[in-house]
Amino acid sequence: MKPPTSCHEPGFLSFLTYRKVLSGVKTIMGKAKVIASFTVVLISVGMTFAGPTNAETIRMAWFAVPPHVTVAEDGVTPQGPTITLFNAIAQKMGCTVDWHGPLPLNRLGLYQERRQSEIDGTILHIKTPAILPYLYYPKEPYLIGKPSIAVRVDDPLTSVKTIEDIQGYRIGFVKTFSMSYPAFIKNNLDKVAIDDLTGENWTSRNLAKLLSNRLDAVYERNQYTLGYQAIIDDVEDRIRILELPVEPILHYFVFHKNSDKGKRLLELYEKAVAGMTIDYDGMVRKEMDRLRATRQ
């Protein structure tokens, strides 16, 4: 029996191979290229894909993390590079996507912990002991996040090499179900203070606290969110973004073990992306350039 080629084909095999390569991407005339045994060009962020009329639906949870996922003007539709990329992959899986959200980050943890079956998968997930038992992870991430902080431009700090560089800082992020900070910060709470928010739009709210001197730094798990939100809030010239000296944080599309089709979706996902090299960073930079151009 051959492996399934779409969500609606019965049966699956466990030996599907994944040959994703995280290098070799070429950028030509500002358009992200996907180069493999076949070629896919993701033309623009926010485009949608019409799948087969008899395709199975993947119920994907989403939450807003600019620029990866933002909310369209209608207030309910997700958009951004993460959404565009998964829609493209789902089309190759022979599936359509039913996006559920926006969901608060701490509610996603409850979905996993209580083994609820309302959703089949989720975006932008990292690997932590708290959630590993509930999720199927693909072999490779789609976003390699570089943990970063934003400081005010009048702060003399221009790089972070040791915890002593930010000793005494009050740092803001958001409360999550799993790990919030890398060990670099979490293991040095005697030297820094954390001041986390709950609720939505935490990056913008934290930047406002930073610029009103109620925080000394704002943390994010990736290198793009702070800069993108600063463009939206028109404060790009008032902050400086510094990468932390820590290991990258890998972000995945994941499928839920409590979904009766989670394992099969994972195998179809691996087959769909096998041989593809996706310039996700290029997609994000293009979206940031687009936003910056609208602000000029």
Round to whole Å and give the CA distance between 130 and 117.
18
Whole-number pLDDT of residue 113:
56
Judge whether 27-144+249-295 and 147-243 match in fold. Answer: yes
32 near 282, Cβ under 8 Å?
Answer: yes
Identify the segments of the chain with pLDDT beneath 50.
1-3, 10-53
Q: pLDDT tens-digit profile of 137-163?
A: 999 999 999 999 999 999 999 999 999
Q: Which residues of 82-99 are buried (b: 16+ CB within 10 A; e: fewer)?
A: bbbbbbbbbbbbbbbbeb
Q: Give me the CATH topology for the region 27-144+249-295.
A: D-Maltodextrin-Binding Protein; domain 2 (3.40.190)
| pTM to 2 decimal places | 0.78
Round to whole Å and give the CA distance between 285 and 31.
10
Q: pLDDT tens-digit profile of 62-95?
A: 998 999 999 999 988 999 999 999 999 999 999 9
Whole-number pLDDT of residue 54:
61
- DSSP assignment letter at 129: T
Whole-number pLDDT of residue 106:
53
Whole-number pLDDT of residue 103:
81
Whole-number pLDDT of residue 112:
54
Kindly list the domain boundaries of the chain, sorted by start residue: 27-144+249-295, 147-243
DSSP 6-72: STTS----TT------SS---EETTEEEE-SSS-EE--STT------TTPEEEEEE---BTTTBEE-
What is the homologous superfamily of the domain 147-243 according to CATH?
Periplasmic binding protein-like II (3.40.190.10)
